[in-house]
A and B are shown apart, each in its own frame.
Chain A
Amino acid sequence: MARTPSELLQGTVDILILRALAWEPMHGYAISRWLDARSGGVLAVDGAALYQALHRLEEHRLVSASWGLSENNRKAKYYTLTGAGRARLRAESVVWKTYADAVTKVLKPA
C-alpha cells in the first residue's frame, strides 16, 4: 500500500470505513481488524491512513465520536455513522460498483 494515499485511495479508505461503521459503532483498531478480516487481508489499511480518514470524516460530520470502554476496559474513541454518513455510503457504493464493473469489463479478455 502506498505511503501517501492518492485522491482515489483516500476516497477508497473513506468508503471502507463508512462500510465498516454501517455494521456497528467501532473504535479505530476494531475497524482495521474488521477490514482485514472482511477482505481476507487484501485491503490492509495502515494506521496513518485510517486515523487521518476517521478524523476527516468526523470533521465533515459523516461519523460522530464518543469515548467508551474497550473490550479490555481501556478508554477508546468509538465512531458511529451519522445520517449524512449513511447517505454518503449508499451513494459512493453505487459509484464504486459501476466503476469496478467497468474496469472488470475492460480487463476481461475478449
Chain B
Amino acid sequence: MARTPIRSFRFPWRSRADIARDVDTELGFHLDMRIRELTARGMDPDAARRAASAEFGDIEGTRVYCRAADARGDRAVRAADRLTEWRQDARYAWRTMRRTPTFTVVSLLTLALAIGANTAIFSVVRAVLLRPLPYADPARLVVASESWPNTPGSRSPMSPPDYVDYRAQQHAFIGLGAYSNAMGPVVWQPAGADPTTLTGIAADAQLFRVLGVRPMLGRVFDAHADVMGDSASAIVSYGFWQRALGGDPHAVGRRLTLNGRSTEIIGVMPRGFVLDRNEDVWLPLDIRDDLANAAITRKQHWMIVIGRLRPGVTIEAGRADLRLISNRLGAQYPDADGGRAAIVAPLHELAAGNLRTPLLLLQAAAAMVLLIACANLINLTLSRTIGRRQELALRAALGAGRGRLVRQLLTESVLLALAGGALGVGLAIVATRALLAINPNTLPALFPVGVDRQVLGFSLLVSVAAGAVFGIVPALHAMRAGVHDALQEGGRGANAARSGSFVRRALVTTQVALAVMLLVGAGLLIRSFAELTRVRLGFEADHVVTAQLRVSGPRYDSIPMVNGFYDAVLDNVAHAPGVIASGAATVLPMQGSVSTSLRIEGQPMDESRLPDMAYIAIRGQFLEALQIPLIAGRRFDASDTPNGQKRVLINQIAARRYFRNGDAVGTRIRIGPNPNGDWMTVVGVVGDVRSGGLDVPPTPTLYVDHAQEAWDHTLTVVMRTTDSRQAIEALRRAVKETDPGLPLRNVQSMDEVVGSSLAARRFALGLAGSFAGLALVLATLGIYGVLAYEVSTRTREFGVRLALGASTRSVLGLVARRGLAWSLAGLALGMGGAVAGARLLAGTLYGVGPLDADTYLLVAAGSLAVVTAACLVPARRATRVDPLTSMRSE
C-alpha cells in the first residue's frame, strides 16, 4: 500500500461545485477499485458493478452527507484562517505603532479628546433625551396645565378646585394625579441629634397610581387613610432609606418627627424614583381646606397635574377632552377660569424640553471636533502611508493581496481608534463627573447622567467608524498609486507627496471651516456670558451671606409665634459683631418669584386681565442688607405694626407701568385673587432688582411686610457683614437660643446665589469653549503637519531653487502661500457656515445678536493669526535648506 502524494493543495477555498466533484471522484474511485477486485476474482463486469454498488449501501445519501460535512469543515478552516490573519495584522499593527511613538501618541491623544467629547455629551443626551423616565410606560404620561387667561401658549399650574373638576369630568385618562413643589423644605428632628432639612414634595393619593410605580416596601398613599386620616404618614425615597434608616427592611411602620409632627413611614420607593428634585420624602397632599374655600382658591394655581392616557387614546384626543372641560369651567366661573384653556403636553417633552436644543447643539459641536480630528488623522496616516509605500510594495511583491494590505492598514487604524476611544471614555467619565460636581443644579434630578451600556456602545461605534474613515482613505490611496511605481521610485519622491495633495488641501480647508464655525459659536456664547456678568443687578452682592430658615411644627400655628421667632432671631443677629445690616425675605433675587394680581384704587381695571406682580415678603433690614435703594417715600419702619394698616413697597417698573405719572406713594391697592381683600397702602418705591435670574430683566415687584403677611414659614436670612463666617455662627447661635429644634439650610454667599443662576450657562459655555479651543488646536496642527510634510518631501526642489539664486523670501512665500490659500478658503466657508448656523443659537444668546460683527471679526482675525503662524514655521524651514545636503539626500 505505497502512497505517493503528488500535490497537497489547500481545500478550504473550494467552491460548492469543487466539493461536489471531489466527493464524486473519491466515491467513484472506491467503487471502481471494488469492481476491479471482483472482476479479478472472475466475476462478470455487470454483476461486479451491481455487487459493489449494493455492498456500498446508500450512495446518494453518503454523497449529500459528505458534501455538507466538507462545506462545514471548509467554513471552519476559513474562519480560523481569517482569525490567524487578523492576529498577524494586529501584531504587525502593534509593532508599527511602537516603531513610530510620536505618531501613535499624537493620534491617541487626538482620538481620546475627540471621542471623549462625543461620549461625554452623548451620556447627557442619553440621560435627558433618550432614556425613558423612571415610571411605568412613560410614553403615555402627560402634564396637564392651563393657560393664563387669554394668553394662549402660556402655561400655569392648576388650582385645586379646577383639578378636582377635571379629574371628575375627564374620559381620556386612566387617572389624573397632582403634586405641589411649593411646600418648602421639611424639617426632620432625629432623636438625640441636630435637626436637618429634607427635600420633600406633597403628592396626592392618585399620583403614584398614575405614575405606575410600586413602592419597594410598604404602600403608597391612600385617599382615606392618609389624606383624610388623622395620623400623619410619609413615603421615603430609596436614598433616604439607605442613608438615614440604614436600609432597615422593617422601616415601614417606623416614625419620624417631620415638621414637628410624629409621622409614620408607610412606604419606601424604589431606587431612581424621583418626581421633581431628588426628594427624600413625600407627604400626603391635603386640599380639603382649598376645596371648602373654592370661590377664592379656584384662582390659586399651584398644582402640577400628571395624567396617564387610556390605551389607544392619542394625546390630541386627551387634549380635546380637557379643552371641553376648560371651556365648560370658563363658562361656569368666568371670573376665575374665563379665557383659560387646558394644555396637555408629554411629560418627557416638558421635563427635557428646554435642554433639547442646547444638547443637540453641543452634540453637533462635538461631532465637528471629531470630524476635524479625523481629518488630521487622515493627513497623518496619509503621510505615513506614503512614507511606507516601499514597505507595502515589498509586502505586495512577496504575495500579500491588495485586499490583505488594505485590511492591514484598516486594522492598524481601527485598533488605534479603539485604544483612543477607550482613553476617551475614561476621560468622558472623569470630565462629566467633575463638570456636574462643579455645577450641581445644571440638570433636573430626573436625568441621572452616567456611562451605561448604550453610551459605551455609542463610543465603540464612533471609534470604529473614525478608525475606518481615517484608515480607508489613505489605504485606498496607497493602493491606487500602485506598487510598481513605489518600488521603482525607490523612496518617497515628489510624485508620492503630490499624489495626495488634493485630499490634503480639501481636508485642511474643511478643518479650518469647522473650527471657525465652532469658534464663532463659542465666541457668541462668551460674549453673552460677559454681557450677563456686566448686567446691573439692582443690588450689591458683595459681603452678603444668606441662609434659609423655616419654622415648623404645631408651635408655629399662630402668626404671632412666627413673628416672635423671626423678630427674636433678627434682633439677636443685628447686634452681633461684624453684622452691618440683616433682614430676611421669602425669596432672594435670582431665585424666581411668586406672582399675584394687582388692583389699584380709583383705576377701573379689566377683571380678566389684572396686571401681574412678583410678590415678596420681607422682614428687618432686607433692603439695606442688599443695598436696594429707596427712590420715593419710605421703607417699612416701627410704625408698621403686624395688625395695623397694611403697607407695601413697589419697585420702579411697577410704579412707572401701573400708576399714573409713576406716582404711587400713598395709593391704595389690593392684591391676590380676592376682589374684596384688605386695602394696602403703597408707602415707598424702591429700585429695580433682577429677580428671575441674570438674563431676565426686572419685572414689576411688590414687597409686603412679612410681619403683616406671615403665612409663608420659610424665610431666607440675608446679612451684610465684614466677616461672613462669624455672622453665620452668630445666626446659628441666635436660632439655637430661640428654638433649638430648627436647622439652618443652604448657607451660601450672595455671590454664590448670583453665580448659581448662571450654572447651566457656565456648563454649556465651558463645553462649547473647550470644543472650539480643541478644534482650533487640531486644525492648526493639521495645517502645520501638512505643510511640514510637504517641505520635507520637497527638500531637493527647494535646494535647487536656492542654489539657482531664488531668494529666501520667494521660497518662504512659495510654501506659506499654499497653506494660507487653503486656510483662507476654509475661513470663508466657515464664516458662511457660522452665519447660517448661528441662528440656532439665537435663543441662548443674551445681549448679542447671532450675527454680532465684533465676534465674527475677532474670530476671523484670531484664526488668521494662528493659521499664519502654523504656515510660517514650516515655510521658514524650507528657506534653511542647504542646497548641497539636499542634493545628496536622495
The dominant DSSP class at the A interface is mixed
Stretch from A59-67, A88-96, A98-106 that touches the partner:
A59-67
Name the residue of chain B whose CB is nearest to the CB of A46: B57
- List, in ascending order, chain A residues with CB within 8 A of B668's CB: none
* Cα(A38)–Cα(B62), bound, Å: 25
For residue B22, which residues in chain A have a CB less than 8 angstroms away from its CB? 77
B1-22 interface code vs A (CB 8 A; 1 in, 0 out) = 1111111110100000000001
A32 to B62, CA, bound (A): 16
User: Given A27-B29, A46-B55 in contact, is the A58-B70 Cβ separation under 8 Å?
Assistant: yes
Chain A's closest residue to B7 (CB) is A67
The reply to whether the CB of B594 lies closer than 8 angstroms to some CB of chain A is: no
Residue pairs across A and B with CB atoms within 8 Å: the count is 97
> B26 to A52, Cβ gap below 8 A?
no
Q: Considering the complex, which residues of chain B in the window 61-112 have a beta carbon less than 8 Å from any beta carbon of chain A?
A: 61-62, 65-66, 69-70, 72-73, 76
- Give the CA-CA distance A65 to B55 in the complex, in Å: 24
How long is the Cα–Cα vector from A19 to B34 in the complex, in angstroms?
A: 22
Bound state CA distance, A104 and B70, in angstroms? Answer: 38
Q: Which residues of chain A are near B6, meaning CB under 8 Å?
A: 67-69
Check B711 for interface membership: any CB of A closer than 8 A: no
Contacts of A58 in B (CB 8 A): 69-70, 73
| Interface residue range, chain A | 35 or more
Tell me the bound Cα distance from A33 to B330 in angstroms: 103
Please tell me if B746 contacts chain A, counting CB pairs below 8 Å: no
Q: Say yes or no: is B56 at the interface (Cβ < 8 Å to chain A).
A: yes
A52 touches B30 (CB 8 A): no
* B488 located at the interface, meaning its Cβ lies under 8 Å from any Cβ of chain A in the complex: no
CB within 8 A of A67: which of B5, B58, B73?
B5
The answer to whether the Cβ of A43 comes within 8 Å of any Cβ in the partner chain is no
Chain A residue at smallest Cβ distance from B34: A29
Cβ of A47 and Cβ of B2 under 8 Å apart? Answer: no
**Are B55's CB and A24's CB within 8 A?**
no
Evaluate whether A75 and B29 lie within 8 angstroms (CB atoms) in the complex, with A25-B3, A51-B66 already known.
Answer: yes
| Shortest Cβ distance from residue A8 to the other chain B in the assembled complex, whole angstroms | 18
Residues in A neighbouring B72, C-beta threshold 8 A: 59
Given contacts A47-B57, A55-B65, contact A74 B1 (CB under 8 A): no
Contact at A59–B70, with CB atoms within 8 Å?
yes
Interface flag for A7 (CB, 8 Å)? no
Residues of B with C-beta under 8 A to A49: 57
Q: Which of A11-64 contact B (CB under 8 A)?
A: 24-30, 32, 46-49, 51-52, 54-56, 58-61
B25 interface residue, CB < 8 Å from A?
Answer: yes
* A60–B70 CA distance with the chains assembled, in angstroms: 10
B56 and A29 form a contact (CB under 8 A) = no
- Alpha-carbon separation in the docked complex, A67 to B18 (Å): 13
Whether the Cβ atoms of A29 and B58 lie closer than 8 Å is no
Q: Interface size (B, Cβ < 8 Å)?
A: 36
Residue among A24, A47, A67 with max Cβ neighbours from chain B (10 Å): A47
Cα(A61)–Cα(B69), bound, Å: 11
Are the CB atoms of A78 and B76 closer together than 8 Å? no
Q: Find B73's partner among A59, A69, A77 (CB 8 Å cutoff).
A: A59
A105: min CB distance to chain B, Å = 34
* A68 CA / B23 CA spacing, docked (Å): 14
User: Is B223 positioned at the interface, with any CB of A under 8 Å from its CB?
Assistant: no
Bound CA–CA A109/B25 (angstroms): 50
CA separation between A68 and B776, bound complex, in Å? Answer: 67
Residue on B with the closest CB to A49? B57
* A47-B55 contact in complex given A67-B5, A68-B6, C-beta closer than 8 Å: yes
Instruction: List residues of chain A with CB within 8 A of the CB of B11.
Output: 65
Shortest distance between the CB of B213 and any CB in chain A (Å):
54
Whole-angstrom distance between the Cβ of A56 and the nearest chain B Cβ:
6
Whether A51 lies near B27 (C-beta < 8 A) is: yes
Q: How far is the CB of B84 from chain A (nearest CB, A)?
A: 15
Which residue among A49, A52, A72 has the maximum number of chain B CB atoms within 10 Å of its CB? A52
A32 to B33 alpha-carbon distance, docked (Å): 11
Q: Is the CB of A66 within 8 A of B76?
A: no
Q: B3 and A68: CB pair below 8 A?
A: yes
Contact B1 A3 (CB under 8 A): no
Q: Which of A3, A59, A67 contacts B69 (CB 8 A)?
A: A59
CB-CB under 8 A from B36, the residues of chain A are 72
> Residues of B contacting A46 with CB < 8 Å?
55-57
Tell me the complex Cα distance, A72–B181, Å.
98
Q: Give chain A residues whose Cβ lies under 8 Å from the Cβ of B33.
A: 29, 70
* Complex CA–CA separation, A54 to B66 (angstroms): 9
Contact in complex: A3, B57 (CB < 8 Å) = yes
Could you list 9 examples of A-B contacts with CB < 8 Å?
A3-B58, A32-B30, A61-B73, A66-B5, A66-B8, A67-B5, A67-B7, A71-B2, A77-B29
Closest 10 CB pairs of A and B: A47-B56, A48-B57, A68-B5, A59-B73, A55-B69, A66-B8, A55-B66, A46-B57, A29-B33, A48-B62
